[in-house]
């Protein structure tokens, strides 16, 4: 069996990762195993990192990762393999698919349940409220309920006036 990374040398290390009903296989030659920090079988984190962002996607025919690059900062998949760090906050969107797989074994859960910035929460609540009011306004206009429409318009005006200044 050929190595799934270099596709040249004979694979000597065979990793299988089973998660739910999904199975991923990774076959590595000595060199590629070493290059990915997996010559030590106990280095499970190394396996997770490689399986998570790199190899597993290469193995997944549905995902084309050849040159996935962050549009904000120019960071690539290859850069992640080198450093294990991302380039900028936007990278979490760019590499969302690969990261999702990687986060599962790394953390207790994949959804944040802790603290959130108060200002951001207020901003988000205001945005949600604005959306609701705009829908209400559209409905009121549609049904020619102009009395409600005027009231809603005032509410929207008030909300927009009081909206916190967005940080730059």
Partner 1 sequence: MKPMKNLHEFLISPGEAARQHGPKDCIVMSSRVRLARNLRNAAFPTWAKKLERVRVLDAILPAVRDLPEMVDSFAEPMDTLSPLDRQILVERHLISREHAAKSTGSGLVLNRAETFSVMINEEDHLRMQALRPGFQIREVWQAIDRLDSALEQKLPYAFDSELGYLTACPTNLGTGIRVSAMLHLPGLVLAEQITPIISSVNKLGLAVRGLYGEGTEALGNVFQVSNQMTLGETESAIVERLEKVLAQIIEHEENARQTMLEKRPKVLFNCLGRAYGNLAYSHIISSKETMNQLSLLRLGVDMGLFPGAERALVDELFLVTQPAHLQKLLSDKLTAEERDLARADMLRERLKVLPRPAMG
- Residue by residue, DSSP assigns 71-99 as TTT--BHHHHHHHS--SSTTHHHHTHHHH
Residues 52 to 111 in contact with partner 1, rule: CB under 8 A: 72-73, 75, 79, 83-89, 92, 99, 102-103, 106-111
Burial class (CB in 10 A: 0-12, 13-18, 19+), 74: exposed
Residues 138 to 167 in contact with partner 1, rule: CB under 8 A: 166-167
Token couple for 39: 């010559």
User: Does 118 interact with partner 1 (rule: CB under 8 A)?
Assistant: yes
CA 104 to chain centre: 12
User: Does 168 interact with partner 1 (rule: CB under 8 A)?
Assistant: yes
Closest to partner 1 by CB, 104 vs 136, is 104
Number of Cβ within 10 Å of residue 45's Cβ equals 13
CB of 26 to partner 1, least distance (A): 19
Among 112, 144, 147, 162, binds partner 1 (CB under 8 A): 112
Interface ranges with partner 1 (CB under 8 A): 72-73, 75, 79, 83-89, 92, 99, 102-103, 106-120, 124, 166-168
């Amino acid at each position: 069996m050929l190595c799934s990374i270099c596709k040249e040398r004979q694979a000597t290390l065979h990793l299988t990762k089973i998660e739910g009903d999904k199975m991923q296989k990774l076959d590595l030659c000595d060199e590629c195993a070493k290059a990915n920090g997996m010559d030590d079988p106990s280095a499970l984190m190394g396996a997770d990192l490689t399986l998570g962002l790199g190899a597993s996607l290469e193995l997944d025919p549905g995902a084309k990762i050849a040159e996935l690059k962050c549009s904000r900062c120019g960071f690539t998949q290859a850069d992640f393999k080198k450093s294990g760090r991302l380039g900028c906050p936007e990278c979490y969107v760019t590499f969302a698919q690969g990261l999702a797989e990687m986060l599962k074994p790394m953390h207790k859960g994949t959804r944040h349940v802790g603290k959130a910035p108060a200002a951001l929460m207020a901003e988000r609540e205001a945005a949600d409220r604005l959306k609701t009011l705009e829908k209400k306004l559209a409905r009121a206009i549609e049904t020619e309920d102009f009395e409600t429409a005027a009231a809603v318009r005032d509410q929207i005006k008030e909300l927009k006036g009081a909206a916190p200044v967005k940080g730059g």
